[in-house]
Chains A and B, each alone.
Chain A
């Protein structure tokens, strides 16, 4: 009896985690480059009360046995790296990656992190940096006399100086992973490499399966409100039903307690 209580409790915990995850997805519905998470559940181990094929009479084996499961657990949550909607901003420094790949960002300690948030800016020394001020890798400096700037589909950064001469001052490179779902989320729209993600390969946008750079666009979050709300309702009802199972067990225990009274 008490086993069933903990089984139902695992169900409630799992659903609660799902609600936590949906809340985070919904909170980031307007975050540039955000990727929604999906939670995966697995059933827990079974307690074998009577194995299949037990001999019930000489030569006769029971066709089915009795195994009682012990509930559910959230096995993992994965990021869904599907493309978010591309939104035109008109800002030449806003870039979106149409397809696979991440921008490489240099942390103050020299580590490389990865992002899909292409809202770039120019800092005081003329370097291309992310909204948080971290420079991108390879680093690209924009001369002070640049009158206009244009970022090409292949990542080339073109400037036109005050005299009207055009020149390429750098190329944006992208990185990709064998298993992007294995990247760890670091907050600030950044991802970090892990053992599970594998080692990154870098390359030119538009080649070898890398996405192209879309200038003047930002990639919106790929969270879809309707999907999340439907999942929220499902999780809430599933939570309710598991608590119902606990209540039924409680009723049964109460009946047992009342024997002879």
Chain B
């Protein structure tokens, strides 16, 4: 009896977590550069003891990872909004090492350097990118490979990196940023990415998919609860037999 309750408990727990992840995706349906989290249920290893022929059935567990697929490209017309099309990340310099982001909504600070909205420096090929004081933002032109120029004068180039197959190992750091926890994985310069000035990459959350998942989660939750009820009935009738 307790085995069933344990298993149902584990699956309720996993469903609750999935519900929380869906809610987080939905809350970020309008966040530029946000990548949805997708969930994968996995069975916890089944323990089987060959000698005694006892068998413990597995329960369910939840894993989640980022879905780094391309989000839609939305025009904003702002000179310092950049969308990335293809695989790659902008690099944000912080005192605790670099962070990587797909959110190219940048600004300039009081020194004219390109920064993100937390005021952290956006990395260029050679440190920070400074827009000279005599250049107005409307003169700024950014080519598809991230070269920034004004009226033909080069100003700098964004540092764009790609993690290839190691993308899955990125850990979210909040504020649309990721960091790489495994020190031996170094990003390579991004090759298959296009920078679009005046655009933002929209969140890749598909509202319909999330709502369908949401309905599924709440129904599965209900079904699991019914199972507990059914188990309770069985055990109470067993008890009544035993007690006479």
Interface residues of A (CB under 8 A from B): 1, 3-4, 7-8, 10-11, 14-15, 18, 38, 40-46, 49-53, 57, 62-72, 75-76, 78, 80-83, 99-100, 176, 178-182, 195-199, 201, 208-211, 234-235, 237-238, 241-242, 244-245, 248-249, 251-252, 255-256, 258-260
Contact = CB atoms under 8 A, between A and B. Distances in A.
Q: Is chain A's binding surface mostly helix, strand, loop or mixed?
A: mixed
B62 A66 contact: yes
Contacts of B169: 52-53, 63
A173 B117 CA distance: 31
B30 A14 contact: yes
B64 to A, nearest CB: 5
B171 A67 contact: yes
Given A242-B27, A252-B15, 19 more contacts: A1-B16, A1-B19, A7-B24, A43-B28, A43-B31, A43-B34, A43-B175, A44-B174, A65-B64, A68-B21, A68-B64, A69-B172, A178-B111, A179-B112, A180-B137, A209-B139, A248-B214, A252-B218, A259-B232
Nearest to A42: B175
Contacts of A238: 26, 29-30
Contacts of A66: 17, 62-64
Nearest to A101: B136
B25 to A, nearest CB: 8
Contact of B117 (A40, A45, A68, A252): A40
A234 B137 contact: no
Contact of B133 (A10, A41, A65, A201): A201
9 contacts: A3-B20, A4-B24, A14-B27, A41-B28, A68-B20, A70-B24, A238-B26, A252-B19, A256-B225
Contact of A52 (B27, B135, B181, B222): B181
B59 interface: no
Nearest to A258: B225
B206 to A, nearest CB: 11
B91 interface: no
A182 B119 CA distance: 11
Contact of A179 (B22, B109, B171, B211): B109
B24 A182 contact: no
A4 B23 CA distance: 6
B30, B63, B172, most chain A CB atoms within 10 A: B30
Interface of B: 15-17, 19-24, 26-32, 34, 37, 40, 45, 62-65, 76-78, 80, 103, 105, 107-112, 117-119, 131, 133-139, 168-169, 171-172, 174-176, 181-182, 207, 210-211, 214-215, 217-218, 221-222, 225, 228-229, 232
B96 to A, nearest CB: 14
Given A178-B109, A255-B225, A260-B229, A8 B139 contact: no
Nearest to B75: A227
A199 B34 CA distance: 34
A62 to B, nearest CB: 7
Contacts of B133: 178, 201
A71 B23 CA distance: 8
Of A68, A83, A99, most buried by chain B (CB within 10 Å of CB) is A68
A51 B221 CA distance: 25
Contacts of A80: 76-78
Nearest to A100: B136
A178 B30 contact: no
B44 to A, nearest CB: 10
A67 B172 contact: yes
Given A41-B30, A66-B62, A255-B222, A82 B78 contact: yes
A78 B78 contact: yes
A242 B24 contact: no
Contacts of A62: 63
B232 to A, nearest CB: 6
B62 to A, nearest CB: 6
A259 B224 CA distance: 10
A198 B133 CA distance: 11
A72 B27 contact: yes
